[in-house]
Amino acid sequence: MAKYFDVHPDNPQRRAIGQVAELVRRDGLIAYPTDSCYALGCRLGSQDGIERIRSIRRLDRRHHFTLVCQDFAQLGQFVHVDNAVFRAIKAATPGRYTFILPATKEVPRRLMHEKKKTVGVRIPDHVVAQALVAELGEPLVSSTLLLPDVPEPLTQGWEIKEELDHVLDAVVDSGDCGIEPTTVVDFSSGEAEVVRRGAGDPDRFA
């Protein structure tokens, strides 16, 4: 049964954030809010958590997981970013974008795209998500909480708890996050390619 945390969207309770982070450190799988939908999240080294996300969402090995980072310094540890790409991403973060970039050796192989050796990264503009990754001290491995055969992501914490109580360790509820996922921009070739149009304005990368 998943623990339920009702967290204030603007002033998240430190005790609750600490408890959620401790669950993640112990290989827990959580549902948590971002600036663009709820997401599933686990710690970077959690093979069990990653496989549980794959199972819940029925993802194949080509799926790009996303590392949700606190800031640019943290992001730069996990992906290779040249100067031109750095400027473009810096101008759009924090925000509702996911960027696909070549992974560094800090990224576990099971998180990379099987052939391209790339990974998704993002810096969310959401107080609770930021508080959580700050408390963890490392990125959250994440995937949008979009269930198979369901057209839109779940948007309510109670609804997520009801639907996924048996497969999650915690649900962090801080209100509706909307149903539009991030805009995904692939920079792995050095040029911007918008591969999914979502909540972030894609025209800035056209």
pLDDT at 4: 98
pLDDT at 203: 94
Chain length of the chain: 206
Chosen CATH of 3-205 out of 3.40.50.700, 3.90.870.10, 3.30.300.20, 3.40.50.720: 3.90.870.10
Where are the domains positioned within the chain?
Answer: 3-205
User: If pLDDT is split at 50, 70 and 90, which confidence band does 197 have?
Assistant: very high
pLDDT at 97: 98
Kindly report the average pLDDT of the chain as a whole number. 94
| Tens-digit pLDDT profile for residues 87-135 | 999 999 999 999 999 999 999 988 888 888 999 999 999 999 999 999 9
What whole-number distance in Å separates Cα of residue 87 and Cα of residue 10? 29
User: If pLDDT is split at 50, 70 and 90, which confidence band does 191 have?
Assistant: very high
User: If pLDDT is split at 50, 70 and 90, which confidence band does 200 have?
Assistant: very high
Q: Return the beta strands (E) in the chain as ranges.
A: 3-6, 30-33, 38-43, 66-68, 97-102, 118-122, 140-144, 170-173, 183-186, 193-196
| Tens-digit pLDDT profile for residues 133-169 | 999 999 999 999 999 988 888 889 999 999 999 999 9
Residue 11 has pLDDT above 80, yes or no: yes
| CB distance 16 to 133 below 8 Å | no
Looking at per-residue confidence, does 115 or 201 come out higher?
A: 201
Query: Among 88, 93, 69, 87, which Cα is nearest to 79's?
Result: 69
**Cα 43 to Cα 7, 10, 47, 137, distances in angstroms:** 20, 24, 9, 10
User: If pLDDT is split at 50, 70 and 90, which confidence band does 206 have?
Assistant: confident
| Tens-digit pLDDT profile for residues 40-91 | 999 999 999 999 999 999 998 778 889 999 999 999 999 999 998 999 999 9
Q: What is the mean pLDDT of residues 173-181?
A: 92
Please return the burial class of 55, using the count of CB atoms within 10 Å of its CB with bins 0-12, 13-18 and 19+: exposed
| CB distance 172 to 132 below 8 Å | yes
**What's the whole-model pTM score?**
0.95
